[in-house]
Amino acid sequence: MLKKFLPNEHVQRVLDITPARLSDMGIKGIITDLDNTLVAWDVKDATPEIIQWFKEMKEHNIKVTIISNNDKERVSIFSEPLEASFIYSARKPLIRAFTRAAKQMNLKKEEIVVIGDQLMTDVLGGNFAGFHTILVVPIVETDGKITRFNRMIERRILNWMRRKGMITWEEK
């Protein structure tokens, strides 16, 4: 069961994921988390770097859907200026929002990656739904109340995986 928490890949930040690399993998779509994946959880708007990242994905015909457990106001304020599809109140790690995003993009599971900063929601949900998962380092170390609890559990899971030799990356 704990293997469902193991991402397929780990990168420092979402900006390390390039359209060329995704295209080489046969990827045509991204399902991404919002808070602490694209911007800090308390930042309302996309940064210039994230705006450019979305633009590059669009130029390479890679569809991006943002799925977040946050409310409609938070997710729409961020997503609409980027002209990005979004699903709010996603209830991750339940798979419904992941499969809905894939259906909206009209892509197969093997053509989509899931990107997020949390094992308990993004990676677990993406893995349960059958997608390739990429864990990113959280943008900031502060979190909301529920996420702080999740991080405590995640640390234990990551430490267990590290002891078992399941993790091949080093934390910076």
Residue 146, pLDDT score: 67
pTM: 0.89
- The DSSP code sequence of 151-168 is HHHHHHHHHHHHHTT---
73-82: b or e for each residue (b if 16 or more CB lie within 10 Å)? ebbeebbeeb
Give the integer Cα–Cα distance in Å for 36 and 41: 5
Task: Return the closest-CA partner of residue 7 out of 162, 116, 147.
Answer: 116
Q: What contacts 134, CB < 8 A, 6 or more positions away?
A: 7, 8, 9, 10, 11, 17, 113, 114, 115, 116
pLDDT (tens, 9 = 90+) of the chain, 172 residues, equals 678 889 999 999 999 999 999 999 999 999 999 999 999 988 999 999 999 999 999 999 999 999 999 999 999 999 999 999 999 999 999 999 999 999 999 999 999 999 999 998 999 999 999 999 999 998 877 666 667 777 788 888 888 888 888 776 655 4
Residue 147: both structure tokens together: 């996420």
pLDDT at position 18: 97
The residue assigned the tokens 């910076």 is 172
What's the rounded Cα separation, in Å, for the pair 141 and 48? 21
Run of H or E including 78: helix 72-79
What letter does residue 114 receive in the DSSP assignment?
A: E
Beta-carbon contacts of residue 6 (< 8 Å; ≥ 6 apart): 123, 127, 161, 166, 167
Query: What CA–CA distances, in Å, run from 39 to 4, 20, 32, 156?
Result: 25, 22, 11, 25
Residues counted in the chain: 172
Domains of the chain: 2-163 (3.40.50.1000)
Give the number of other CB atoms < 10 A from CB of residue 161: 17
